[in-house]
Amino acid sequence: MSVAKNLLLVAIDARTGRVRVVTRTVEAALGGAALIDLVLLGRLRLEGSGRKARVEVSSPPTRPPGRWWASSWPPATSASP
């Protein structure tokens, strides 16, 4: 189970479905948990330590984002001058 899923299980009351903590805190925590999941999956890496730490992409996506996602890649190019 991912860090983000574990956080959701802790933050939401199973009986009522209500969030147990302040909403702004949950949003920031979920963002951090998503980053941690991406680091653990090897998609991102941490450079530096402490407050100087930065997140960098360690493996680019296998397909380009956007409109090319469902179409062929690379896009066809015109051969005419």
Predicted local confidence at residue 21, as pLDDT: 76
H/E stretch holding 46: strand 44-47
Predicted local confidence at residue 67, as pLDDT: 55
Cis peptide before 60 (omega within 30 of 0): no
Predicted local confidence at residue 75, as pLDDT: 56
User: Tell me: the pLDDT tens digits for 15-72?
Assistant: 888 888 776 777 788 888 888 888 888 888 888 888 888 888 887 666 655 555 555 5
More confident residue, 50 or 74: 50
